[in-house]
Amino acid sequence: MYRVLIQGITGRQGTFHSSKMIEYGTEVVAGTTPGKGGTEVNGILVYDTVEEACSNHDVDASVIFVPAPFAKDAAMEAISHDLDPVVIITEGVPVLDAIEVVKEAKKKGVTVIGPNTPGLIRPKDRSKLGIMPHHIFAPGKIGIISRSGTLTYEIASTITKGGLGQSTCVGIGGDQIVGTDFTHFLKLFEEDDDTEGVVLIGEIGGDAEERAADFIKRGYEKKVLAFIAGKTAPKGKKMGHAGAIISGDSGYAENKIQALENAGVKVCERPKELIKALRD
């Protein structure tokens, strides 16, 4: 189980979601907000800097609720102290800032999840790093990797109601530049004894799904299903996320579906179809 630092804990989102993380069972050990050191939020001591928090507590991971203009500095501070993962909830982080964060994380060997992510959750461990509504999750054997927070919730709820439950669910983020992709977590799920099958939740824009298909096609040991959103999206229009936009000849849902099916992945038309497909 992660020992978690929350950056931006005194803000509205940080205050609310830290309480929900603690309620679920996450070990939140400290928070930071510059200028608010010495105060408490939900019984958690607040520090001015990550350095101070790490000097006083054993910290493994960070969850960032810092406004977009300051998210880069917060992430860099966490990365510099080798916190892993660094989960950036913040949406709309400037592209150049996100590029710098991802570059530094790769140099240090740190996993960055997001920006614009609902985070990750492990129902078996009662551990949540982010904003996922934990009541819809249940311990099980299905891993979920998603680009969409809302669809994560819908499909996780469907899997729970179907009696299968989840091992780990992670949102890789909906901004144009994110720290991890489907392939990163496919590798982890392949090595995870608690995971028997994986559901990929994709959407229009970018080529993350196609790269995942290429990886699966080389030989993947576990069952993979997929759901792709945005098949009716018009060209050039952003659909919810900064990264969900079709430009030129790339990013179409049809291309992603075809690539996944060519890799042997069943792509379901509706979330409810996943239950039957997972059981087959």
Name which of 204, 268, 200 is nearest 239 in CA terms: 204
| Rounded Cα distance, 28 and 167, in Å | 21
Q: Hey, do 3-113 and 133-279 end up sharing a CATH topology, with the first three levels equal?
A: yes
Residue 178: per-residue pLDDT:
95
Other CB atoms within 10 A of residue 189 CB: 24
Record the tokens describing residue 193, joined without a space. Answer: 């004894």
Torsion angle (degrees, nearest 10) of CA 181, 209, 278, 165: 30
Q: Work out whether the CA dihedral 199, 201, 207, 210 comes out positive or negative.
A: positive
pLDDT for 241-271, tens place per residue?
454 454 555 578 899 999 999 999 999 999 8
Residue 243: per-residue pLDDT:
47
Looking at the domain covering 133-279, what would its CATH class be? alpha beta
Do residues 241 and 205 touch, judged by C-beta distance below 8 A? yes
Instruction: Round the average pLDDT of the chain to a whole number and report it.
Output: 93
Residue 252: per-residue pLDDT:
84
pLDDT of 198 over the 50 cut:
yes
pLDDT for 120-178, tens place per residue?
999 999 999 999 999 999 999 999 999 988 999 999 999 999 999 999 999 999 898 99
Residue 205: per-residue pLDDT:
84
pLDDT of 117 over the 50 cut:
yes
Residue 258: per-residue pLDDT:
95
Higher pLDDT, 205 or 171: 171
For the chain, percent of residues with pLDDT exceeding 70 = 93
Query: What mean pLDDT is predicted for residues 224-243?
Result: 67
Alpha carbon distances (Å) from 101 to 130, 183, 199, 243? 19, 19, 28, 17
Domain covering 3-113 in this structure, CATH number = 3.40.50.720
pLDDT for 57-82, tens place per residue?
999 999 999 999 999 999 999 999 99
Q: Is 17 a catalytic residue?
A: no
Domain positions in the chain? 3-113, 133-279
For the chain, percent of residues with pLDDT exceeding 90 = 85
Q: Are strands 197-203 and 44-47 parallel, antiparallel or unpaired?
A: unpaired
Which residue among the candidates 17, 81, 134, 241 is catalytic per the annotation? 241
